[in-house]
A and B are shown apart, each in its own frame.
Chain A
Amino acid sequence: MIKTFVKCIREYRTPTLLTLFFIILEVFLEVLIPTRTADLVNSIKAGDPMGGVVKMGLILVGMALLSLCCGGGAGFMGAKASAGFAKNVRGDVFRRIQSFSFENIDKYSTASLVTRLTTDITNVQMAFMMTIRAAVRAPLMFTFSIVMAWRMGGSLAATFLVIVPVLLIGLIVIARKAMPAFHSVFRRYDRMNESVEENVRGMRVVKGFARENYEKEKFAAASESIARDFTKAERIVALNNPLMTLCMNFNMVFVLLVGAKLIVTNKGTTIDVGQISAMLTYGMQILMSLMMISMIYVMMTISWESMKRISEVLNEEPSLRNPENPVTEVSDGSIDFEGVSFKYSAQAEKNALDQIDLHIPSGATVGILGGTGSSKTTLIQLIPRLYDVTEGSVKVGGVDVRDYDIETLRSAVSVVLQKNQLFSGTVRENLRWGNPEATEEEIREACRLAQADEFVMAHEDGYDRHIEQGGSNVSGGQKQRLCIARALLKKPKILILDDSTSAVDTRTDALIRKGFRDYIPETTKIIIAQRVASVEDADLILVMENGRIVDRGTHEELMQSSEIYREIYQQQTKGGEEDA
């Protein structure tokens, strides 16, 4: 998994390495500075001529300035490297999602993908910054300080033999105990927030059933129990601070007492006052670096979940691939299903489509009817190869769809999805999805065909009108007509409307179909509909149930032969005929 992420550093390798370089230098300086200051203090004490003191002082100031540059540089480069790293990870995740097939997309919810692109990546960015800055700094600082303290303090350094193991073991025990507790409570915390969201979303239900108090009790119980468990975990972590202080205090007492003894008994020959103050500084640095290591550990475990979620997407293989030597030309709009069976996942017991055989000649209009769950949508999604068949083959223009270049195929087969969507931007920008090079005249032509031109032009901004996210500022019927226009702009050989006129009134619906007949007669049209009226005049009507085509024929034929078709027809027209 780590490898997946290391690959994302790419062009930010230099800033990353520079960060490391600056940090190593900075640590080096930070460790040297106490020694030099000890020298300075001693030379002052020895009453050196002022010149020597000033010289030493200047060296020290120089070192501090250098360390400032290194520290600043490390901070700067670290920020650049980690923000760049996050940018790359985000880009990779997004690109990977773009390469997903429908099957891959079905696996993830929208919300979970958004979380991966935002919160999870932010977590990983923080962890990365922490790693390149502290993960090098802490162990390095620790080692340097120990070495320097040993060289300088001699037996005084024995103090570290006590405090380092004590602190280390203490920190490990605390982290070990606290982390699992945090993990479980974090997850529950997320769930609590989800339930708040549920409450906000369902506020009309809550108030409609006068369940405010019930909701309050439910929330209070959740909130309280989370607070209880959080407190437990935080109380363990809160021991860090006293433990650290204990070690620092011990260091202080030890250095003062033993140091004093050493100085006095040796009459100041082996060790001096300056060294005592340096030892105190080293002690501090050693303890701080241990503290930092434990913080890295905590940070890494927190971001581990995020990393797992991200690499899940990055390592998800797109289930559809372009064939080698693909066919890049679709000859006509004929469609053949030959013994096609399909299931959404290998584990599924039932086939979503079962033994479908079907021939649709180029230029025909086909209507599909059937209840929810009868696999109408599944059937048409196989034509532009949004999914691959489990058995049999689907052919477009006489060639198996798996042999086509995917982009060629999908440009020739235009689908208006049931759950369709417009994107924020102008009407024109949305339509250009169908064809980026479409001229103004082509756009208007498509809109006229989809009966959308009139209402678009009725707005003062016309084709420059801004569409809000999700198309929330146009009505359902208008949205559907724009989606049809967008699909028409592809100039497809096959046009598929998956329940795309459900919110359009019957008169407009009829006009759209008439337009199809008159202006794009060569295009094969497949129309899935709830309304019999939408498919009545088709060359071929398919009635589907439970993944099979149970009846097929023209309207007249089906009225004779198909019980289901008659039932639907009567259901939708009764009353109307009584009064007519």
Chain B
Amino acid sequence: MHKSRGEMLKENFGAIKWTLKKFFGYYPRLAPLAMICILFSAIVAAIPSVFIQKILEVIEKWVESGDWAAAKAELLPYIFLLIGLYVVSICSLTLETQLMAVMTQGFLDKMRREMFNGMQDLPIRYFDTHQHGDIMSFYTNDIDTMRQLVSNSLPSLVRSVAIVLAVFFIMLWYSLWMTLVLLLGVAAMFFVTKTVGGGSAKYFMRQQKSVGAMEGFAQEMMSGQKVVKVFCHEEQSIEDFDKVNGELFEVSYKANAFASTLGPIISNIGNILYVGLALVGGVLILTKAPSVSLSGMVFDITVLVPFLNMSRQFTGNVNQLSQQINSIVMAGAGAQRVLSLVNEAPEVDDGYVTLVNAKVLPDGSVTETAEHTGHWAWRHPHTADGSVTYTPLRGDVRMVDVDFAYVEDKPVLHDISVYAEPGQKVAFVGATGAGKTTITNLINRFYDIADGKIRYDGININKIKKADLRRSLGIVLQETNLFTGTVMENIRYGNLDASDEDCIRAAKLAGADDFITRLPQGYETQLQNNGANLSQGQRQLLAIARAAVADPPVMILDEATSSIDTRTEAIVQKGMDKLMEGRTVFVIAHRLSTVMNSDVIMVLDHGRIIERGSHEKLIAEKGTYYQLYTGAFELE
């Protein structure tokens, strides 16, 4: 379970590369420019040591005589050069940091949209098989690790490596022996980073897990708080909480302990190294040992001082590098997850039959028109002869011998045949898991059937463009989802072209107008948090209004009135009846009073239709429906 950092890095290296490629792909000119700026300012940052050496040389030369004028004349060119370099480097630094600020946010924006757009096109199956919390963390945690990578790790990696290399060469320029001593210290730092840093990465991973456990526990207890109160279970739940809390403390403390001791250890190794270098340098100077260097310079005090400063710079940057490793490992894991989302195969749509505005010609045939006529037709191009035929939209749905399985070899529907003529009301009843909702999932192609055929107005639904197919079907689900926005906006979600009057008319039809007008701001009331300020029943009424404004010829009502009490249901029943008038309606309900007046009722059991017929017929048969009806069976 607990992989080492190295393994994790290797595993996710592809994802890191992918992230960087994306970044440079989005900014093909600006990103390299920023990198050049970083390199430039890094090298400039390494150079002052050379100047210090030069200036100290001058000081040494004139300190005996105390002739400042002469010294000044020699010094000033160096100083001016240094100032010049500084000015240029600050300009490049400013440019770089501004560029990075712009690019980081732009990059995140583009990544977010790519993720979101890709996600919209994923099949429902994806959302049914992934936890929402997991999907959410793409947009919060994972993308944040990518931000870290691009805005922090990448520049500081480039900068640190550049400085380390530059300083390393300058050191070699001055003295080989001293450089070797320094390398010894660096080796020690690497060792410490590996052991201490490895521990911290391990505990950080565990901390993530503990935080997850804490979140799960808190979620469960907070939502069940009233049950806790009723059973006076407070003491016990505090005890349980303390256990989870204690575990989180242990790992959080260790993770942070490892992480925050690393810095001081590395920087003090730097200090010791500094002293060591000073001592070795002193020995070299005092013993006048032969100097080995690229420059062939004699090793004296004017070299030692800048050399010591460089060692500070060197160790400082090694420290920087070691601090980045954790976030790079994290970024790798995050990017890997984002990559898996982006690479997820989108919902396939090979449909070519589309829904168009239709006009009936004097001769009775139907043709396409640009303006809104209130009539619709399926536009069916035939590739064989290039002709186009138009079929009026009527709402005739037929399922023939349909088989279906969510998971291969575990069929949930067998030989389902249902004929729904325009204007008919078809009801499905049966126990939980009998396959009622699955049937509706197939009609709108949330899932594709394994075998058999489904035809809509005589056209195989596989040939219909999904968006158009779904536009011709209105669904109201048991679990109502509303969106942040006004009540009006939520109703209009069903038909973006609907006027305010259309929306209000739909609300009246659904029996929602009454409570909406009693809300503080009526139709302009802001809904938040999935309409938390409304009752479950009110939310269902809104969902019905939303489907009504879309005015589709076929409606699917999946437990659409389950949260409305029977008295209220009786009141909205008239509206519902009016809403269903002239439409093909599929109803799923566990309250039999809701399905009683259907044209045909299908009783499902373990994925098969075991009884079918009108209410009267099924009651007369005294079969399963009769037993359900008289309450002998449990439905949920």
Contact between B229 and A265, CB atoms less than 8 A apart: no
Contact between B232 and A411, CB atoms less than 8 A apart: yes
Contact between A227 and B108, CB atoms less than 8 A apart: yes
CB-contact partner of B483 in A202, A414, A477, under 8 A: A202
Kindly supply a per-residue 1/0 record for chain A positions 32-44, scoring 1 wherever the CB is within 8 Å of any chain B CB and 0 otherwise.
Answer: 0100010011011
A460 within 8 A of B: no
A263-B59, A263-B63 as given contacts; A223 in contact with B565, CB under 8 Å: no
In the complex, which residue of chain B has the Cβ closest to the Cβ of A116? B218
Kindly supply a per-residue 1/0 record for chain B positions 83-110, scoring 1 wherever the CB is within 8 Å of any chain A CB and 0 otherwise.
Answer: 1001001100110011011101110110
B275 within 8 A of A: yes
Closest 8 CB pairs of A and B: A71-B264, A506-B631, A202-B481, A75-B260, A227-B109, A68-B268, A79-B256, A83-B253
Complex Cα gap A264–B276 (Å):
29
A256-B55, A415-B230, A572-B566 as given contacts; A230 in contact with B105, CB under 8 Å: yes
Q: For B634, list chain A residues within 8 Å (CB).
A: 475, 477, 503-505, 508
Contact between B245 and A90, CB atoms less than 8 A apart: yes
Q: Of the 9-residue stretches A231-239, A290-298, A356-364, which lies at the interface with chain B?
A: A231-239
Contact between A372 and B568, CB atoms less than 8 A apart: yes
CB-contact partner of A61 in B100, B255, B275, under 8 A: B275
Kindly supply a per-residue 1/0 record for chain A positions 470-513, scoring 1 wherever the CB is within 8 Å of any chain B CB and 0 otherwise.
Answer: 10000111000000001000100000000000011111110000
CB-contact partner of A280 in B219, B309, B444, B620, under 8 A: B309
Contact between B230 and A371, CB atoms less than 8 A apart: no
Contact between A194 and B484, CB atoms less than 8 A apart: yes
B304 within 8 A of A: yes
Q: For B82, list chain A residues within 8 Å (CB).
A: 252-253, 256
Q: For B227, list chain A residues within 8 Å (CB).
A: 417, 420-421, 433
Complex Cα gap A386–B474 (Å):
43
User: Which residues between 100 and 147 of chain B lie within 8 Å of chain A, taking CB atoms?
Assistant: 100-102, 104-106, 108-109, 112-113, 116-117, 119-121, 124, 127, 132, 135-136, 139-140
Contact between A234 and B567, CB atoms less than 8 A apart: no
A67-B271, A110-B222, A572-B593 as given contacts; A219 in contact with B113, CB under 8 Å: yes
Contact between A424 and B120, CB atoms less than 8 A apart: no
Contact between A110 and B219, CB atoms less than 8 A apart: yes
A165 within 8 A of B: no
A44-B286, A475-B636, A568-B567 as given contacts; A117 in contact with B218, CB under 8 Å: yes
Contact between B566 and A530, CB atoms less than 8 A apart: yes
Complex Cα gap A395–B389 (Å):
77
Complex Cα gap A212–B471 (Å):
12
Contact between B567 and A82, CB atoms less than 8 A apart: no
Complex Cα gap A38–B108 (Å):
48
User: Which residues between 284 and 309 of chain A lie within 8 Å of chain B, taking CB atoms?
Assistant: none
Kindly supply a per-residue 1/0 record for chain A positions 544-578, scoring 1 wherever the CB is within 8 Å of any chain B CB and 0 otherwise.
Answer: 00000000000000000000000110011001100
Question: Interface range on chain A: under 10, 10 to 19, 20 to 34, or 35 or more?
Answer: 35 or more
Q: A490 to nearest B CB, angstroms?
A: 8
Q: For A5, list chain B residues within 8 Å (CB).
A: none
Q: B514 to nearest A CB, angstroms?
A: 13
Q: For B237, list chain A residues within 8 Å (CB).
A: 98
B127, B218, B566, B619, most chain A CB atoms within 10 A: B218
A235-B101, A434-B231, A436-B236 as given contacts; A267 in contact with B66, CB under 8 Å: yes
In the complex, which residue of chain B has the Cβ closest to the Cβ of A97? B225
User: Which residues between 406 and 425 of chain A lie within 8 Å of chain B, taking CB atoms?
Assistant: 406-407, 410-411, 414-415, 417, 419-421, 423-424
Contact between A102 and B229, CB atoms less than 8 A apart: yes
Kindly supply a per-residue 1/0 record for chain A positions 6-36, scoring 1 wherever the CB is within 8 Å of any chain B CB and 0 otherwise.
Answer: 0000000000000000000010000001000
B215 within 8 A of A: yes
A246 within 8 A of B: yes
Contact between A372 and B537, CB atoms less than 8 A apart: yes
Contact between B477 and A91, CB atoms less than 8 A apart: no
In the complex, which residue of chain A has the Cβ closest to the Cβ of B51? A256
User: Which residues between 205 and 261 of chain B lie within 8 Å of chain A, taking CB atoms?
Assistant: 211, 214-216, 218-234, 236-238, 241-242, 245-246, 248-249, 252-257, 259-261
Question: Interface range on chain B: under 10, 10 to 19, 20 to 34, or 35 or more?
Answer: 35 or more
Kindly supply a per-residue 1/0 record for chain A positions 192-209, scoring 1 wherever the CB is within 8 Å of any chain B CB and 0 otherwise.
Answer: 011111111111111111
A80 within 8 A of B: yes
Q: A119 to nearest B CB, angstroms?
A: 9
Q: For A118, list chain B residues within 8 Å (CB).
A: 211, 214-215, 218
A373 within 8 A of B: yes
B285 within 8 A of A: yes
Contact between A264 and B68, CB atoms less than 8 A apart: yes
Q: List 26 A-B contacts (CB under 8 A).
A: A40-B279, A54-B279, A67-B271, A71-B264, A74-B264, A75-B263, A76-B260, A117-B215, A195-B484, A201-B530, A210-B471, A220-B113, A220-B116, A223-B113, A228-B105, A230-B105, A231-B106, A235-B101, A242-B93, A256-B52, A273-B301, A386-B229, A470-B223, A476-B636, A509-B631, A530-B565
Q: For B62, list chain A residues within 8 Å (CB).
A: 264
A439 within 8 A of B: no
Complex Cα gap A132–B283 (Å):
42
Q: For B65, list chain A residues within 8 Å (CB).
A: 267
In the complex, which residue of chain A has the Cβ closest to the Cβ of B249? A87
CB-contact partner of B97 in A65, A242, A246, under 8 A: A242
B467 within 8 A of A: yes
Chain A binding surface SS class: helix
User: Which residues between 92 and 107 of chain A lie within 8 Å of chain B, taking CB atoms?
Assistant: 94-95, 97-102, 105
Q: For A230, list chain B residues within 8 Å (CB).
A: 105, 108
Complex Cα gap A555–B282 (Å):
107
B136, B252, B593, most chain A CB atoms within 10 A: B252
Contact between A210 and B467, CB atoms less than 8 A apart: yes
Q: For A90, list chain B residues within 8 Å (CB).
A: 214, 245, 248
Contact between B529 and A65, CB atoms less than 8 A apart: no
Q: Of the 9-residue stretches B71-79, B166-174, B454-462, B579-587, which lies at the interface with chain A?
A: B71-79
User: Which residues between 520 and 578 of chain B lie within 8 Å of chain A, taking CB atoms?
Assistant: 529-530, 532, 535, 537, 550, 564-568, 570
Contact between A567 and B109, CB atoms less than 8 A apart: no
Supplied contacts A41-B301, A117-B222, A469-B219, 18 more A-B pairs, CB within 8 Å: A45-B301, A50-B283, A71-B268, A80-B257, A87-B249, A94-B245, A98-B234, A129-B256, A200-B119, A204-B477, A208-B473, A219-B112, A230-B105, A277-B308, A371-B565, A423-B224, A433-B227, A509-B631
Contact between A196 and B139, CB atoms less than 8 A apart: yes
Complex Cα gap A41–B305 (Å):
8
CB-contact partner of B304 in A41, A80, A191, A253, under 8 A: A41
Contact between A207 and B215, CB atoms less than 8 A apart: no
A541 within 8 A of B: no
Q: For A419, list chain B residues within 8 Å (CB).
A: 226
B435 within 8 A of A: no
In the complex, which residue of chain A has the Cβ closest to the Cβ of B62? A264
A143 within 8 A of B: no
B499 within 8 A of A: no
CB-contact partner of A575 in B215, B312, B615, under 8 A: B615
